Each structure stands twice: as C-alpha cells, then as structure tokens.
Chains A and B, each alone.
Chain A
Amino acid sequence: MMENLHFLSALEAGSLIKTKKISPVEYAEALIHRIEKYDQSLNSFLSFMPEIALEDAKKAEREIMKGEWRGYLHGIPYGLKDNIDYEGVRTSVHSKILQDNIAVSDAEVTHKLRAGGGVFMGKLATHEFATGGPSFDLPWPPARNPWNRDYFCGGSSSGSAVATAAGFLPLALGTDTGGSIRSPASLCGVVGMKATYDLVSRSGVFPLAYSLDHVGPLTRTVHDNAMALELISGAADGTYTSQLGEELKGTRVGVIRHFHTQDLDCDPEISSGIENALHLLDSLGAAIEDVETAPLGEFATLNRIILSAEAYAIHENWLRDRPQDYASNTRERIMPGAFISAASYINSTRFRLKMARLLDSLFERVDVLVTVNTAVMAHLIDDEEARDRNHGQNAWSPFNLTGNPALSIPIGLSKAGLPLGMQIVGRHHAEAQVYKVAHAFEQASEWSKQHPTLSDFVLPK
C-alpha cells in the first residue's frame, strides 16, 4: 500500500488510479482512516459516510478494471457542504430546524459528481443556514482551523475548507453568498472558486439568498479546482484546464488597491503578502497596474440589503414560529431583513446593475483583477467580540453582487503560522483566465505544497 496518499492532488491520485498504480478502494480507505483519526478535533464532517464511500470506490474500481474510465475524478473522494442534497442522506444546513431533513434526491451538482465516478465521503460542517457563525449553541460544534484548532477556519463553507486542507479530501463543494467559499479557503490555505453567477446549478442546494448564491469547488490545487468546475458546471473537458501552464507574458493584471489601503483596515502582514504576490506575478511577465472602482462599502451595503431581505423571505415563518431553534448569531444576521423596505430592496437591485457595469468597465483595460481577500487574520474561534468586529472586513461581496468569477488562492503563512489568501477576479464567464493566472502564481510560489501538521493536536481519548 502506498503511504501518504492524503495530500495527493485529485489529478495525481486520478492519474495513479487511471494507470492502476493505486486502487480507488485503497485511496478511500486511507482517507477514511485519516478522518477517523483526526476529525474528532476538527469537526469538519457532520455526516461521515464511509460505507457509501467504500461502495462507490468498489464500483469505480470495477469500472476502471473493465476499461470504463470516466475521467480524472473517477474514484476520487469528495464531500458536500451540508446544504447540498445527496439522496437518502440528511441535509441539516447545520441547523436544529432541519436536523431530521433527509434529501429525497440529489442536487444537480451531486448528480454530476456521481456521474463522473466520484466517491462520496459525507456532508460537511457549515455555519447555520450558511450565515453567521461560528456558533456554539447548535446541535453540532463548529469546524476548527487545521493549522491551529484554537482559531476560526472561516465560513460558511467551513467543513469543506477544513477537510480539504487537512488532507481528508482532495475536493469538496461549498456555497458562497457573500464570501462563504473564499473566506474559509483563505483562512485554511486552499483554493476556492466562486464562478460566474448561474454557471453552476443551485438546484437541490438550500438557499441563503437566491440572487447572490453560488456553488463552487474547494481544492488544494488550482488544476484540481478547474477540473472540478468543468465537471460540476457541465463544461467540456479542457474548458478551464487547457490554458493552465501558459505564460503570463502580456496578461494585464489590475489591482484594486484601495480596497485594502483605504476602504478596509488591513492587517500589515496581509498587505505585505499581497505586495509580494504582485511582485511574483510581475516577475512572471504579467503587466500590473492599479485600477479604481466604487468604495467597498457601497458594494457591501447593497450585498447586505439584498442578502438579508432574500434570506428573511426564506426564514420568515421559522423565525416567527420557532426562533429559539436558531443560533443567536444566525437570528441576528437574518432578522434585519424583516425591517428592510421593499423600496430599499428594489433600489439596491437597481444600483447593483450599475455596479456590475462599473466593474465591467475595468475589464476594458485589464484581463483579471487582484484584490485583498480577508483583511484580518483568523481570530480565536471562541472570541465573539473579534467575530463581530471582523465581520465585513473583507472584499468578497462585490463579486456576489456583480456575479463575476472570484477565486481565493493561498499566498503564504503569517508569522503565527496561519494561511493568507488573495483574490483573483475575472470577467463574467472568463474562469479560464482566472485559473491561468492563479496556476502560474501557484507553480511559482509553491504555497500549495505546504500543509498543516495534524498530529500535534490530536485530542486525548
């Protein structure tokens, strides 16, 4: 049996499976063993399903032995954020309210992963209803940062990022309404993509805010992420992977520097990390220039009005009938929607289109944009004051509002040993360009080869 399978990328594992150097069963067993050993201290899984994983792995093995190989994700384990349906398995959205909710059919993205021969490992922790968090007044504890379990791991796709970073899975799906893929990707040191709005189906995914929700992949490498997006969006092979490895010479990179120098109170280590990353992109041949857009606060205001109004529309009856079953933090995030006027909601959607066009105008000058991701370091997971203070200290919401693809990529570690991330943004439907830039950076920086050491903090039995 090969050792250390857990930090193989999906592409590496898929290649070994294709050439029959490892079996999908051997690979799944290795990851199951690792999850059983370490997840008791990280809480990334809400529903761990090793029986289904082994069944899927055996099926994949039989098919591949018969020459019926379906692609590089055939035989590859994956997890789903617990707001994405898998037939016959609970979708709780990490809430007491849905703790007995068994999905009656697969979400469209689940169907695509199953059709691609993926190995389902289970459902992953989120913040309740994909908002608020981390909360300790729910039926399950919050996921913890694998780089240091005392720290917040980001969210709301918290389990998806933790499981990927910890070497439990090479691929997990998350959702992103105001940064919920990019936040945990950044704080856990993995790659997270929120693609163009509507590129990935939301069918069978419990909504937070209909017009802002996106489904997307979290992986340890850019190539894996692009491969996963091809599968879950139904794009042809090569749509997002064929440009990987191309030179950056001539690629125009616009930096929205005022997001972190003026609009946010950015941690100096993060600012410095972004500057270093820009130097690296420059050395790779990219043409870097500063660009300006509307203040971040304007994007955030529109995002929050639309998000809270749409979320309240979904939760209105439950908030009236059983408010005690929500975490207090979730209630406080959703309830402002009760007090938003219809005129404010509609005017926010009118401003929204103007902002999307404003952002689009930047792409007449540049091919991709680079911005800060989160402007603050991960806080201690039980520090509620820091949680509330840090809420909003990021540059995620503009791209939920405008629907542009936005990817979080690791750019290093802080002095405290916690991951730092940066955001790369593209034109609508230009995910291939975003991946190309991210891949070139990743290959030159090699941050994706750094992994947390879990053995230091295994809980005593």
Chain B
Amino acid sequence: MEKNEAEAIKKTAADAGLPILCSDYLQSYLRAKKTAKLRQELLWKMGDLSPQDQPASVARLTESR
C-alpha cells in the first residue's frame, strides 16, 4: 500500500471513530467509505424531492393504499 493511500485510510477510520487493528481493517474502512459514497451518489441521481415530501413512517407506509 502506498503511503498516501494508507494515510487516507487512517484518516477515514479516524473520522468515523473506528479502530485500526490491522491492514485488513484499513482496506475494509476504505471499501466501506467508497460503498457509502457510491450509494449516496445513486441517491442524488434519483432527482429532487419537494420540500413537502415527508419522511416515511410506519403508519404512512402501511396506510399508503
């Protein structure tokens, strides 16, 4: 692993408050961060919501029929 990459991963882990126990974990944190970023990018591509669009709740979900 290159020094810059290792530093980036350590920062990723530290920002999330996650411990660094071995190099496997370092890779896991980086993959997790990339996965989260990808998912959020897919969410942003789904378009804009109206300010009136409320969060789902259990009651709203099952009463939506």
A335 and B64 contacting across the interface, CB-CB below 8 Å? no
- B44-57 vs A, CB cutoff 8 Å, 1 = contact: the mask equals 00100100011110
A264 nearest CB across to chain B (Å): 16
Closest A residue by C-beta to B35:
A336
A324 nearest CB across to chain B (Å): 6
- A355-368 vs B, CB cutoff 8 Å, 1 = contact: the mask equals 01100100100000
Contacts of B1-32 to chain A: CB distance below 8 A: 12, 16-19, 21, 24-25, 28-29, 31-32
B32 nearest CB across to chain A (Å): 4
User: Which of B37, B43, B56 has the most C-beta atoms of chain A within 10 angstroms of its own C-beta?
Assistant: B56
Query: What is the CA–CA distance of A283 and B42 in the complex, to the nearest angstrom?
Result: 41
- A330-371 vs B, CB cutoff 8 Å, 1 = contact: the mask equals 011001111111001011111111101100100100000000
Instruction: Tell me if A66 counts as interface (CB < 8 A to partner B).
Output: no
Closest B residue by C-beta to A355:
B56
Instruction: Tell me if A249 counts as interface (CB < 8 A to partner B).
Output: no
A197 and B43 contacting across the interface, CB-CB below 8 Å? no
Q: How many residues of A contact B (CB 8 A)?
A: 45
Hey, which chain B residues are within 8 Å of A297, CB to CB? Answer: 42
User: Which of B35, B36, B42 has the most C-beta atoms of chain A within 10 angstroms of its own C-beta?
Assistant: B36
Contact of A339 among B16, B55, B61, B63 (CB under 8 A): B16
Contact of B21 among A324, A340, A403 (CB under 8 A): A324
SS of B interface (majority)? helix
A350 and B49 contacting across the interface, CB-CB below 8 Å? yes
Q: How many residues of B contact A (CB 8 A)?
A: 33
Instruction: Tell me if A211 counts as interface (CB < 8 A to partner B).
Output: yes
Also in contact, A301 and B28, with CB within 8 A (given A350-B53, A360-B64, A428-B65): no
Hey, which chain A residues are within 8 Å of B39, CB to CB? Answer: 301, 304-305, 308, 336, 340, 344
Query: What is the CA–CA distance of A207 and B53 in the complex, to the nearest angstrom?
Result: 27
- A414-446 vs B, CB cutoff 8 Å, 1 = contact: the mask equals 000000000000011100000000000000000
Query: What is the CA–CA distance of A341 and B63 in the complex, to the nearest angstrom?
Result: 28
Hey, which chain A residues are within 8 Å of B12, CB to CB? Answer: 339
Instruction: Tell me if A319 counts as interface (CB < 8 A to partner B).
Output: yes
Contact of A305 among B43, B49, B62 (CB under 8 A): B43
Contacts of A347-405 to chain B: CB distance below 8 A: 347-354, 356-357, 360, 363, 402-403
Residues of B within 8 A of A (CB): 12, 16-19, 21, 24-25, 28-29, 31-33, 35-37, 39-40, 42-43, 46, 49, 53-56, 58, 60-65
What 14 new A-B contacts, CB under 8 Å, besides A196-B62, A198-B62?
Answer: A324-B21, A332-B31, A335-B29, A336-B39, A337-B36, A338-B17, A338-B33, A349-B55, A350-B49, A350-B56, A351-B46, A352-B61, A427-B65, A428-B62
A and B contact pairs by CB, cutoff 8 A, 16 listed: A211-B58, A301-B42, A304-B39, A305-B39, A320-B19, A324-B21, A338-B17, A338-B33, A339-B36, A339-B37, A350-B49, A353-B55, A353-B61, A403-B61, A403-B62, A428-B61
